Amino acid sequence: MLTIHDIAVWDTGERIDLIVPETDTKRLLAEADAVVSGDIDGSSLIVAPGLADPHVHFRDPGQRAKETMVSGCEAAAAGGYTRVLIMPNTLPAADGRDIEVQDVVDGGEELKEVGVDNTLDYLQRYEQLHHIQLPVRYDLSVCASLGRAGKRPTRPADYARFMDHTGQSSVDNHAIAKTAANVAGAVSQHPLRGITDDGSAITDTILDEVLADAKATGLPVLEHCEHHDSGAINDGAVSRKLGIAGIPAETELTIVNRDIAASRRTGAHIHFQHVSTAGAFDAVRRAKAEGLPITCETAPHYLALCDEDILKYGAMAKMNPPLRSEADRRATVAAIADGTVDMIATDHAPHTAEEKASGLADAPNGIIGLECAYGVCHKVLVESGAISDERLIELMALAPERLLGHTPTDVAMLLNTSSKCATKRTLDLNKVEHPETVDLTLIDTRHQWTVDSSRFHSKGRNTPFDGWKLTGRPMATIIGSKLVFSRLGAQ
């Protein structure tokens, strides 16, 4: 049992004692010398709903040298996340089809190793198939197009059986009943929560069909709101200085405007991923003012960096969309401050050191983010005065959970009040109603630390934030009222 004394509730400020009744030994991760039982002074900590990331790439199956479900989930837990949404750009692509009928079957041998022939089935039953328990909750997304090729839309008949049919979906087809026995239990734990071709915008030719299927299934469309056929970094002074083909900011705005018009026409919920430009934020503002079902996210790197930083960090600062201008970076912070941005996602994208060392023009896009996202955002947003600590929790915990169809843990409700009490109270997680639903993150908003990617749980080391000095860090992660990660008291 772990008792944390004098911890502050994130939104009310009430000081309480928090009792975590037991650790989950099958899931527990702990840094050296970290406290996992006994008593600890929590006066520097806040207790908040578990962070949630609606945009991660775990590379499993197909690219496990970069990341696996195990290493990715461990990285998430170490970053204070209790839930993540996994993107479908796996190998084979997570489009709902069995590998025998897929056009591209790279990575299929990993599915065959554990006796399955469908990527969604593999991911939903990962723990069962590998006889492990992962230290974070995760949901799945399905491709918008078959094989993510952009030519033909995925079919609800292929993926409906992997959905949570407790009220989200109106799809009714024989595939559900036929395969229900194979995915029973797994679906409720790791259901589909979005449709996306992340890495590519949904093509014009299939957009309306994808939106129609999204409305029928109740799933939001998660749109990679950018398209370009050439270029490696933002089009501007830096690209010209380096002699590298640039990507104009209009590549993002074009897709955002197209999709807003489609949402107006169809009524489908479109969630724009990793928005990075002032023009796109203006378009989203107007769409929201119109009452359209539009939401959006941005990522820590678009808040903290601009294309000028490529001169310092090289390929470690190469991503898609690319880092934009300093004016766009300031516009991104402003969009957070005025509420245009609904949530923050990491777009965690691990690559090998060899790939990132291949030169700025040839290196793959993407950086890792799970283990330092909170600290980076705290530095750029809270320390600068742009938003409050409470607003950062809303952006990194409450809003992503709701997008994914979940209810964030309400600490004040667990205490049966929304206001402070004159006498210090104790929140014993063993005595709350439905303890299995309680997901929490314990954060030290004043903890000073230096990013050391060599100590990350992720297999990836591709981050421009290595060596950054930050203030604010998740110190423990609790899932289902059980401690799954701790760095409490660690040196």
Q: Is the pLDDT reported for residue 176 higher than 50?
A: no
Output the average pLDDT for the chain: 93
Residues assigned a catalytic role: 347
**Percentage of the chain exceeding pLDDT 70:** 93
- pLDDT bracket for residue 183 (50, 70, 90): very low
- pLDDT bracket for residue 419 (50, 70, 90): low
Domain ranges of the chain: 51-427
Residue-wise burial string across 466-488, b where 16 or more C-beta atoms lie within 10 A, e elsewhere: bebebebbbbbbbbbbbbbbbbb
Per residue in 357-401, pLDDT tens?
999 999 999 999 999 999 999 999 999 999 999 999 999 999 999
Structure tokens at 398: 């409450």
- pLDDT bracket for residue 420 (50, 70, 90): low
Question: Which pLDDT score is estimated for 102?
Answer: 59
pTM, whole model, 2 decimals? 0.95
Closest of 259, 198, 226 to residue 328, by C-alpha: 226
Question: Across residues 458-482, what is the average pLDDT?
Answer: 98
Question: Which pLDDT score is estimated for 184?
Answer: 41
Question: Which pLDDT score is estimated for 164?
Answer: 82
Question: Which pLDDT score is estimated for 171?
Answer: 45
The top-level CATH class assigned to 51-427 is alpha beta
Question: Across residues 343-347, what is the average pLDDT?
Answer: 98
Q: Is the pLDDT reported for residue 178 higher than 50?
A: no
Q: Is the pLDDT reported for residue 181 higher than 50?
A: no
Q: What is the DSSP string of 65-87?
A: TT--HHHHHHHHHHTTEEEEEE-
d(CA 435, CA 249): 47
Per residue in 223-280, pLDDT tens?
999 999 999 999 999 999 999 999 999 999 999 999 999 999 999 999 999 999 999 9
Q: Beta partners for 343?
A: 297
- pLDDT bracket for residue 169 (50, 70, 90): very low
Cβ of 289: how many Cβ atoms within 10 Å? 8
Question: Across residues 31-39, what is the average pLDDT?
Answer: 94
Per residue in 98-141, pLDDT tens?
987 654 556 788 898 999 999 999 999 999 999 999 999 999 99
